Structure 1
Amino acid sequence: MLTTHNSVVTREFDVIALENKLEVDYNTSISPYIDIEIDGVGDKHGTTYRVWCDHHCLGTFYRLPMDNKWYATPFYSSDKFVATTEAKSFSTHHKAQAHIVSCWKSVE
């Protein structure tokens, strides 16, 4: 679905379709993402996706329509929980999620 806001055309994402696509892509027996789940929290500014493992939120990622990049903010870094870290940009949501998971895996 395309919408306009202040003369900027954006494409709204179907959260369920994104979750299903991520699950299909990563849900294999050899995947490091086997226990990873994604959910989305939306408001008028867009949707923020959260990456979960068990009951732990590993980080968040979101897309800015102005530059068409995905920004990932992991909650784990350098072997410890970090309340805030700087968001890094990625070209796809797959890479953003992988960054969050790799930061968490480095803690284990």
Structure 2
Amino acid sequence: MTRWARCFWGEEAVWFYFELDTDGHVIRQVELQEPGSKALAAASLAEWQEAQRDGRLAEYEGVYGLTAELPISEWEGHDPQWLSANEFHVVWSTARRQLQDRQRRRPS
């Protein structure tokens, strides 16, 4: 069963949004820097694995970042707030758009 959650990391003022599989492993992850909810990452494990297979890993991570390797249940001190699928998808699509727009504006 897929679940969605968010956690706040106060030391860095970053919100982490997660789409999780049944075992709590991250399928998709968004990182938003406060203030202003600046997108730092919006990575998909499946996309990351595909980029790795295709030799495009550095390019993928340069735009979208990467997902956490440990299940969030192993993160100390981060009490997740559970979200609906729709709440996660709104954050996901907004962050992806921000990162893609930022990539397009970078000089070649």
The verdict on a shared fold, with TM-score over 0.5 as the criterion, is no
Query: Comparing both structures, which one devotes a greater share of its residues to helix?
Result: 2
Query: Comparing both structures, which one devotes a greater share of its residues to strand?
Result: 1
The higher relative CO (CA closer than 8 Å, separation ≥ 6) is in 2
TM-score, normalised by the number of residues in structure 2: 0.37
TM-score, normalised by the number of residues in structure 1: 0.37
